[in-house]
Amino acid sequence: MAQMTSAERVMCVLRNEEPDRIPHFEWILDHNVREAILPGCTMEEFTLRMGLDAILTGPDIKREQISEKRFRTEYGTIVEKTEEEYAIPVGGPIETIEDLRNYEPPDPHAPGRFDSLKRLVNLYKGKLAVGVHLNDVFSLPRGLMGFENLLMAIAVDPELVQGLVDMSVEINIEFAKECARHGADFVMTGDDYSSAKAPLMSPKAFRELFYPGLKRVYTGFKEQGLMTIKHSDGDLKPLLEMVLDAPLDCLDPIDPGGGMDIGEMKQKYGHRCAMKGNVDCAHTLTFGSVADTVAETKEVIRKAAAGGGLILSSSNSIHSKVKPGNYLAMWNTVRTYGTYPIRLDPMDASGAGAAFG
């Protein structure tokens, strides 16, 4: 097979086809890990120098600083910086249905909203796959209400939850129109529905309050001609049929900490969508050795690479506690063993780390 560009490679996998080699990129790649590997690099420079296959951005959402670590976004959500790459929401503007009726969300079509995307498309379209972080049905309501308040409202105020979900769907479809207009290749939504032990709501509540909106928003993405990646950590099994019923192209990250086995997923659902994952970032990449990482990366390839439809990555993100050497070991293993046709010796996984020590 002729060598593909990174853009061709990712789009091939999102069509659930076999590329020239397994692509690799991460949802989040922490600056501490990047700095240890390539000092002084921005994420964009790191992507280029490491030969990652996709470059990601998001809508340009303004925020004002209100304290040393806290900011108020255009949504009215207060977020707090952490040691990780992302800030966490700690307060929101909506508590009641009346608050929702009076709420004015940011304009998806505001001037400058996608300046970052336009710049990346201008520089990298056709070379790297250009993706945009959006939301589907959970993260925006969580940010506007607060996590605990939203979970409580699922039980006691479903009308409010439904209104928030509907608003999230409408806003993100409008965002997607701008993404498509400016040349994005795919969108990736990061709304987490589950903990490691169970979904955050009952399957009944998910079916009634979130599943219809999930289908609407993903249908809206597809109507704009965008490929789609759906991210959710944790144990998705009780919700899996509903999640896969949205017209998604790829499921991420098949979290082993939530009991999700990528080999089983590939066998049962590989005909329905591509898979992204799933080297364990909670244990192997954080506490394991280079040899452990190489062995697990090869095992993911062994279980899920056949026939294509695999983007190899961590089981969530490259967070601040991931060992830089382990990230490099995963990256090296994909490059060494990820070319099609895949050739792996099934007996050598335990000692495969020696070459990367």
**Cβ-contact 141, 172 below 8 angstroms:** no
Report H helices in the chain: 6-14, 31-37, 43-50, 97-101, 115-124, 139-145, 147-156, 158-181, 203-205, 211-223, 240-245, 262-269, 284-287, 290-304, 324-337
Pick the closest to residue 184 from 142, 234, 123, 121 (CA basis). Answer: 121
**Cβ-contact 322, 281 below 8 angstroms:** yes
Residue with tokens 């095992």: 299
Task: Tell which CATH architecture fits domain 6-60+93-356.
Answer: Alpha-Beta Barrel (3.20)
**Cβ-contact 189, 223 below 8 angstroms:** no
pLDDT of residue 240: 97
Using CA atoms, how far residue 184 sits from 48, 128, 191, 216, in Å, is 18, 11, 20, 20
pLDDT of residue 208: 98
Number of other residues whose CB lies within 10 A of the CB of residue 247? 14
pLDDT of residue 352: 40
pLDDT of residue 85: 85
Domain ranges of the chain: 6-60+93-356
pLDDT of residue 224: 98
Burial class (CB in 10 A: 0-12, 13-18, 19+), 148: exposed
**Cβ-contact 192, 234 below 8 angstroms:** yes
Pick the closest to residue 222 from 257, 258, 246, 251 (CA basis). Answer: 246
- Bridge partners of 254, per DSSP, are none
Number of other residues whose CB lies within 10 A of the CB of residue 21? 20
Q: Are strands 129-134 and 186-189 parallel, antiparallel or unpaired?
A: parallel
Q: CA-CA distance, 122 to 227, in Å (whole number)?
A: 19
pLDDT in tens, the chain (357 residues): 789 999 999 999 999 999 999 999 999 999 999 999 999 999 999 999 999 999 999 999 999 999 999 999 999 999 999 988 888 999 999 999 999 999 999 999 999 999 999 999 999 999 999 999 999 999 999 999 999 999 999 999 999 999 999 999 999 999 999 999 999 999 999 999 999 999 999 999 999 999 999 999 999 999 999 999 999 999 999 999 999 999 999 999 999 999 999 999 999 999 999 999 999 999 999 999 999 999 999 999 999 999 999 999 999 999 999 999 999 999 999 999 999 999 987 544 443 433 322
Q: CA-CA distance, 46 to 56, in Å (whole number)?
A: 12
Q: CA-CA distance, 230 to 228, in Å (whole number)?
A: 7
Pick the closest to residue 105 from 61, 136, 64 (CA basis). Answer: 61
End-to-end CA, the chain = 31
Q: CA-CA distance, 231 to 180, in Å (whole number)?
A: 20
Q: What is this structure's pTM?
A: 0.94
**Cβ-contact 66, 78 below 8 angstroms:** yes
Helix 262-269 / helix 290-304 crossing angle, nearest 10 deg: 10
**Cβ-contact 14, 186 below 8 angstroms:** yes
**Would you list the DSSP string of 49-73?**
HHT-SEEEE-----EEE-SSSEEEE
